[in-house]
Structure 1
Amino acid sequence: MAHDAEYVLPLRWTGDSGLAELSGYLHRLVGWMPVIVVDGSEENLFDRHRAAFPGGVRHIRPDLAGRTGTGNGKVAGVMTGASTSRAEFLVIADDDVRYTRESLAAVVHYLKSADVVRPQNYFAPLPWHARWDTARTLLNRAWSADYPGTLGVRRSALLATGGYAGVLFENLELIRTIKAAGGSERILPDLFVARRPPTARHFLRQRVRQAYDDLAQPRRLAAELALLPAAAGAALLPARARRAAIALLAGAAVACAEIGRRRHNGSAVFPASAAWFAPFWAAERAVCVWLALAFRWSGGMPYAGRKLRTAAHSEAKLLLLHGGKLPHNPAGQEARKPETTMNAVQA
């Protein structure tokens, strides 16, 4: 493991049901790499966390000075961690992400030739709702690449931009900001890092919020907005043609998901059953993306007691804001495309 690396975990909990499991992970993690937990939880929870976390963890409060208007507290946590750290290579991860020593070392290794590294998350364990959400991951992999809950980032690149906006889709905003400044991204679709699934209740609450993220991806948004009119058109067909159309659409969704499952050694971590959830996920998104659009028209998506209007800023706008801040690209332009690692590392 590189000595010039540190793990940054932004945290803001309203309950402690997962504290024992997270604490056990942190006890392993501090043996591999220095760890900063930036904890925005209420005072009583913060104190419980400090007592439960291993002594090697730097457990600090987020610095909200000058960031009160960001909306997304995770961004303040990440930037506090980046400012506090003196390591060049940062592994930023949500509280549900679970690295192994090998996958952590791989992310740090690829940061030597890129400004931001994007591995591939997968759910472990895999209850029904995690299989449902995995279908989204598989469809993303079929067409391009998935967005995980963890990134490797060069600290110098992140600080050179002055930080990134506290929008709803904060990981996309971080990636776009660094690339707009002249940095390079390395996408590693076969570097697998586990994450713990949410509860079924939390999963259900996230359906429209996840759809809102696609307002930052116009081509994807247009395709998803077309799903509901297409389904409505199919419903008007005669019964036999309607059944054929539904079967065709469902079969196409499963086939695309299966392509994503098999690409880049995905079958090593994604079960075949997840692909069969693709029609259900597509039906969900067909409705939720219109609801997300309605939230956009009404002022934004509710998040942590406020409304966030912006999913993520466009690449063109970020280029105007940050262009030229990173004139020396350590990886060159070739790192922008997805690539296959020499050895896929499972977490």
Structure 2
Amino acid sequence: MRKTIFVVAGVLAFAVVPPSAAQAASTATVVSPKRPLNVRAGAAAWTRSLRTLPDGAAVAIECQVKGQLIDQGPVRVTDQWDRLTDGSFISDAWVSRPPAAPPPCSPPQQTAAPAAAASAPTTAGTVASGTTALKTRGGPARSAVLYSGLPNGTALNIACQTQGEPITGTMRATAMWDRLDSGAYVSDAYVNRAATPPSCTAPAAAPPAAAPAPAAAAAAQTQGVPEAGRWVSPLPGFSARPGFRTPTNPSHAGVDIMSFVGTPIHAASAGTVVEVVCNIEAGHSCDQTGSAAIDGCGWYVKILHAGGVSTLYCHMVHRGVVKPGQKVAAGQVIGYVGSSGNSSAPHLHFEVHVNTPPTSPGNAIDPLPFMRTHGAAIG
């Protein structure tokens, strides 16, 4: 037996669905010969890893959702993620399965609501997410189940708002999430609207996995007050290549954390944004994919922390989502992984400097031991 969550007039209801009525699962096989495949809480590599599966493991796929594009899998290049029968996710790029794709996952269906609720007015809005589709989810957090992506300009019917994970977007920095009339959620940070939607009458469903930042950090970010003394990995779940001033690259003043285009980059600690800059040689653009033949850090953000420590985050896909002078909390999203500037593949070039300002090659230190001693080992 399994439980299915429904939202009825803002109130959660649970229905027990017998196995015979549940969506039929298809059997597939993991293809991951070099390393175990991560099973995650959501449809992206930055969501929490729940466990791993060895090469050749059999899996039961319930349905598919659109998520992070994975271009390094041995089977296919795809943005489709397979939701297993226990609610966890694996990238379809690492799965051998029959040619027919699993059915798409659907948002929770709303049961019949009272007439008054059914006729309740909605607030009009429009997706304002630029070139990236706005993700609809099963709860007010990025760790909640992903349903689909809505292109920029899509019209929205917002039933109400509820508080969830703080997000800094194109329209505002906010912890409010909009519940659409379909029952799915989108962050209000990416919604252009003329009026403020009403509050949802009941608490929203808790996301299937904890939000990336602890409650204290989320509260601090919401109030604009940084959380002092805590350090986190700028790319949770990804490992850095040891590469600080190697014999073959003695001028490399940081470490590279390989990832995927669009992976959120997090502030390593609370501080103040001092620079959001395009650093590239003349004749090139930070809004285009870079190469090893181009000089410069591409789009980067610099943050000044307590004790004169500064951190740099290079090669972002577009301008960071923070502004100079802005206070940020540990773990707050400041931009997204790209390959701008002197870069031959998507990654984050991460630097730590001491005794700043200013930052210079002379006060750069190896980020890996520094982060380990601060309880935030990378990888």
| Between structures 1 and 2, the one with greater strand share | 2
TM, length-normalised to structure 1: 0.27
| Between structures 1 and 2, the one with greater helix share | 1
Q: Which fold has the larger relative contact order, with Cα–Cα distance below 8 Å and residues 6 or more apart in sequence?
A: 1
TM, length-normalised to structure 2: 0.25
